[in-house]
Amino acid sequence: MTNRNAPAGTSTPIKAQERAINGQTAVTSKQTQKYHDSRQRKRRLTYLIAGLFLVFVVITGFMYGAVPITWQELLAVMQGQGTADTERILYYLRLPRVIAAALVGMNLALAGCILQGVLHNPLADPGIIGVTAGAGVAAMAVMILAPALTAWVPLAAFVGALVALAVVFILAWGRGINPLRLILAGVAVAAFFGGGTTALSVMFPDRIQGVVNWLAGGFAGARWTYVWIVLPYSIIGLVGALWNYRKLNALQMGEEVALSLGINLKKTRIILVLLAAILAAASVSVAGLLGFVGLIVPHLMRLVVGSDFEYLLPASAVFGAGLLVGADTFARTIFSPAEIPVGIFLSFLGAPFFLYLLKRRSRA
């Protein structure tokens, strides 16, 4: 109701204040839209750079090794006009190795990304839930106790990883999966299976040489069989991760928010941890114990694309594939014709980054 006794001109300051508020709202809206557009451009640029990086390291992986292949020879093979030796090197040695490295890199990066979201721990990677330790001791047992069954090492490693995960779930279960209990159970299981690895090393010192190379991690001797072992789980893991990005975003905002959105915390955590474990188990079964990929890649991508898993997951997958292909190519060419296990190279690369993260968290 209008106050007739109000002095003339009283409405003028009120209208001026309303115009000022509307103007501030418009400015804020424009700033928000500008920030959103800038972030979208940054994300698209990141995808482009990561994709080009992957293409570059794949081509480099085809060309460099104990026997270099030139551009002309590579193009000739692609056109079906290459020599028999060049085709044999490319199709039966380097192509399966590069594809296996790309799949394993993608798997480990996705697994680390998922676990960091589920466990609310930026230092989480597949090793924190005991999967890699379980795979390692199972593979080592086959190579030492039944050397005639070496061809079954990938299967044994995969089974060992799943057994370790089952033990972790049993220990961590208490009316649902709690992130803290899951981490503590994973550390305990990893220590237990690590003790098994040490015991086998002490009991059979004369058979340890071949096992050490596998435990160091790498793709020496990678065959098409390795690709077919990893590929189905890579597809399942990638599709499953992208399908659940909204749930990861909700978990990242806290249990209360996730519950208010109607998410079943128990079921969601089990599915996501199982998904990460399958990705890691398939990778470890063919590549050995590779550390830090699941730790480094999600952090680097989070710096440029943000914490939204809709963008973080695909960026981590592409860059993780490129990182491991590039690292493997570097590891097998730096001392050519000899090669060092890529796991050793990743340790030198990842340890300083891990210390940086610890220092950053202590400052925060």
Residue that wins the pLDDT comparison between 297 and 39: 297
Nearest in space to 307 (alpha carbons), one of 318, 296, 299: 299
What's the pLDDT tens digit per position in 129-165? 888 889 889 988 988 888 888 778 888 888 888 899 8
Percent of the residues in the chain that have a pLDDT greater than 70, as a whole number: 87
Residue 361: band (very low, low, confident or very high) from pLDDT cuts 50, 70, 90: low
pLDDT at 6 over 80: no
In a domain, 218, yes or no: yes
In a domain, 178, yes or no: yes
pLDDT at 120 over 50: yes
Specify the number of domains making up the chain: 1
In a domain, 14, yes or no: no
pLDDT of residue 80: 83
Provide the terminal-to-terminal Cα distance of the chain, rounded to the nearest Å. Answer: 54
pLDDT at 237 over 60: yes
In a domain, 212, yes or no: yes
Considering the chain, what is the average pLDDT of its residues? 84
What's the pLDDT tens digit per position in 28-84? 566 666 666 677 887 888 889 989 999 999 999 999 888 888 888 888 888 888 888
In a domain, 15, yes or no: no
Least confident interval from 194-198, 215-219, 230-234: 215-219
pLDDT of residue 289: 85
pLDDT of residue 231: 94
Least confident interval from 168-177, 182-191, 336-345: 168-177
pLDDT at 2 over 50: no
In a domain, 331, yes or no: yes
pLDDT of residue 62: 93
pLDDT of residue 17: 58
pLDDT, mean of residues 318-323: 96
pLDDT at 15 over 90: no
- The letter for the amino acid at 44 is R
Distance between CA atoms of 41 and 268, rounded to whole angstroms?
Answer: 32
Residue 1: band (very low, low, confident or very high) from pLDDT cuts 50, 70, 90: very low
pLDDT, mean of residues 318-341: 90
The domain that holds 70 is classified in CATH as 1.10.3470.10
Distance between CA atoms of 29 and 23, rounded to whole angstroms?
Answer: 10
Least confident interval from 96-100, 171-175, 310-314: 171-175
pLDDT of residue 272: 92
320: its two tokens? 């993780």
pLDDT of residue 14: 63
Distance between CA atoms of 290 and 277, rounded to whole angstroms?
Answer: 14
In a domain, 322, yes or no: yes
pLDDT, mean of residues 317-336: 92
Domain with 197, as residue range(s), is 43-363
pLDDT of residue 161: 86
**Whole-model pTM?**
0.84
In a domain, 33, yes or no: no
pLDDT of residue 188: 92
Residues 6+ apart with CB under 8 A from 268: 244, 247, 251, 258
Range among 235-244, 284-293, 301-310 with highest mean pLDDT value: 235-244
